[in-house]
A and B are shown apart, each in its own frame.
Chain A
Amino acid sequence: MTARSVAAIASLALCGSLACTNFYEIPIETPIQPKMDVSAFQRVLVAGFIGGGTDEVDANLETVRLLRSQLRSKSSLRVIEAEALPLALIAAKQVLASNGAAAPPQDGASESQQPTPVPQLSDADQQIRNERDLERYQGIFADAEFWKRLGEEHQNPLIVTGTVLFTPHQERGMVIQERERIDQFGRRTVQPVRTLMERKGFILTPKFIFIDGRTGATLYSETFREEVLYNVQTNTPALSSYFELMDKLIPSFLNALSTQKVRGTRILLK
C-alpha cells in the first residue's frame, strides 16, 4: 500500500467521521478490449500443443481441456470438440521428413483421425525437456498449408495452438519467514527473519498462437512465464501446480479474443 493510498484512506475515514457526504464509493467494471479482432470467426478449435518439461503432467491434453472449458464459458465463440492433436509427434515427423530421415510428412490434420504408418522416432525426438528442445519443432507453426488443411476440416475456425513447457524447478535462496518470539514479560511478537532455504516447484512457459483457419496464417501470439516455489517438505502434486499457474494466465489468454472486465471501486465527488 502506498503512502498516498494510506493518506486517501485516512482522509476517507476522517471525512466519514465528520459525516461528510461529498464523496461516494462506487463499484466499476473497466472493460479491457480484446487484443485481436475475432469477429470473422464463429468457431474456435483448440487444436493441440507441443508440450513438455515433465512426465508428471500431459501438458498438451491438460491445456487443451482447460482452454476449451474456459472458452466455452467465457467467450462467444463456439468451441469445436475434436481430438487433441499429438502436435509434438506431428512436428517431430515433419522434422525427420525434412531431414530426409523418414518418408515425406503426411497430412498432419488427417493424421489425427486416420493413423498412417508412423516413422520410427527415437525417444529422444519425443522428449521435450527445455526451450532448446522445443525450438526444433517450432517450424510447424509457420506451416500455413498444414493449418489451412486443418481449418478446412473444421469449417475455417480460429485455431488455438502453441507450446507449453512445464518444468520442475528447484532453487536455494533467501526467503522472509515470520518467527514468533516471547519476551521475558510473556509478550508475543512476530518478527520477519531472512532464512536461506531450499525450495522446489515448477515453471510454466506457455506460448499461445492464434491461427486463421481460412488461410493458415498466424494472427497473434503471446508468451507467458509463471513460476511457483514451495518449501521442499511440501508435497504438492504437479497437476495442482499446473492449474495454479494456469489460473494466473487464463485472464490474459482470454483477453486476446474477448473483452475482459476488471472490477474495482472509485470515488465519485460532489
Chain B
Amino acid sequence: MMFRALILAVALASSASTASARDARSDAKAQVEFGIKVAQNGLWKEALYRWEKAVELDPTYPAAWNNLAIAYEQQGNFEKAADAYQKAVKLDPDNLLIQQNYDLFKEINDRTQRRRDR
C-alpha cells in the first residue's frame, strides 16, 4: 500500500514538472514571438526585454538565446551577444541557422578586436 502511494506520488511529481516545463516553454515562446514582431518594427529595446524574459522563463530554449544574441549585437553589446550565441549553440549544436548567425557575429567581433589590439 505504502509502495503504491510512493509510486503514485513520484508519477504525479514527474508529470507536474513536465507540465511546468511545457508551460515555461509555451510562455517563453509567447515572449519570443512578440519579440520578433516588435523587432520587425524596429523596436529593438522592447524585443530585447521580451527575449530576456523568454530565457528567464525557459533557459533551455535555443531560439530565445539566438534572438537575444541578435538584439545584443544590434545594440553593440558584443560580450553579452557572444555569451548568448554560445548558449544557443550549446543547446542546439545542429542548428545551422544559429551557427550562421554566430559566424557572422564572430566575423565582426574579431575584426573589431583586431583593430583594438593594433
Q: Do A and B come from one complex?
A: yes
B99: chain A residues at CB < 8 Å are 4, 8
Q: Which residue of B lies closest to A33 (CB)?
A: B76
B73: chain A residues at CB < 8 Å are 28, 30, 266
27 pairs from A and B in contact (CB 8 Å cutoff): A2-B103, A4-B96, A4-B100, A4-B103, A5-B103, A11-B97, A22-B63, A26-B40, A26-B70, A28-B70, A28-B73, A28-B74, A29-B74, A30-B74, A30-B76, A30-B108, A31-B76, A32-B108, A222-B118, A264-B108, A267-B66, A267-B97, A267-B100, A268-B39, A268-B67, A269-B63, A269-B97
Shortest B96–chain A CB gap in Å is: 4
A185 proximal to B (CB < 8 A): no
Taken residue by residue from 71 to 107, chain B's Cβ proximity to chain A (1 for < 8 Å, 0 otherwise) reads as 0011110000000000000000001111111011100
Q: For chain B residues 5-28, which have a beta carbon within 8 Å of chain A?
A: none
Q: Which of A4, A33, A262, A266 makes the CB contact (< 8 A) with B70?
A: A266
Distance A77 CA – B12 CA, assembled complex (angstroms): 67
Distance A58 CA – B30 CA, assembled complex (angstroms): 61
Shortest B108–chain A CB gap in Å is: 6
Interface pair A11/B96, CB less than 8 Å apart: yes
B36: chain A residues at CB < 8 Å are 24, 268, 270
Distance A31 CA – B78 CA, assembled complex (angstroms): 10
Shortest A253–chain B CB gap in Å is: 11
Distance A222 CA – B114 CA, assembled complex (angstroms): 12
Q: For chain A residues 116-153, which have a beta carbon within 8 Å of chain B?
A: none
B48 proximal to A (CB < 8 A): no
Interface of B is mostly: helix
Please, how many residues of chain B have a CB less than 8 angstroms from a CB on the other chain?
30
Interface size class of chain A, counting residues whose CB lies under 8 Å from the partner chain: 20 to 34
Distance A8 CA – B98 CA, assembled complex (angstroms): 9
A5: chain B residues at CB < 8 Å are 100, 103
B46: chain A residues at CB < 8 Å are none
B residues sitting closer than 8 Å to A (CB atoms) are 29, 32-33, 36, 39-40, 62-63, 66-67, 70, 73-76, 95-101, 103-105, 108, 112, 115-116, 118
Taken residue by residue from 235 to 264, chain A's Cβ proximity to chain B (1 for < 8 Å, 0 otherwise) reads as 000000000000000001001000100101
Q: Which residue of B lies closest to A15 (CB)?
A: B97
A residues sitting closer than 8 Å to B (CB atoms) are 2, 4-5, 7-8, 11-12, 22-24, 26, 28-33, 35, 222, 252, 255, 259, 262, 264, 266-270
Interface pair A8/B97, CB less than 8 Å apart: yes
Q: Which residue of A lies closest to B116 (CB)?
A: A35
Distance A8 CA – B63 CA, assembled complex (angstroms): 16
Q: Which of A22, A24, A255 makes the CB contact (< 8 A) with B115?
A: A255
Distance A42 CA – B76 CA, assembled complex (angstroms): 24
Distance A264 CA – B73 CA, assembled complex (angstroms): 11
Shortest B52–chain A CB gap in Å is: 15
Interface pair B100/A32, CB less than 8 Å apart: no
Among A4, A28, A252, the most chain B Cβ lie within 10 Å of the Cβ of A28
B103: chain A residues at CB < 8 Å are 2, 4-5
B75: chain A residues at CB < 8 Å are 31
In the complex, the 7 A-B pairs of residues with the closest C-beta atoms, listed nearest first: A269-B63, A31-B76, A8-B100, A8-B96, A267-B97, A266-B70, A28-B74
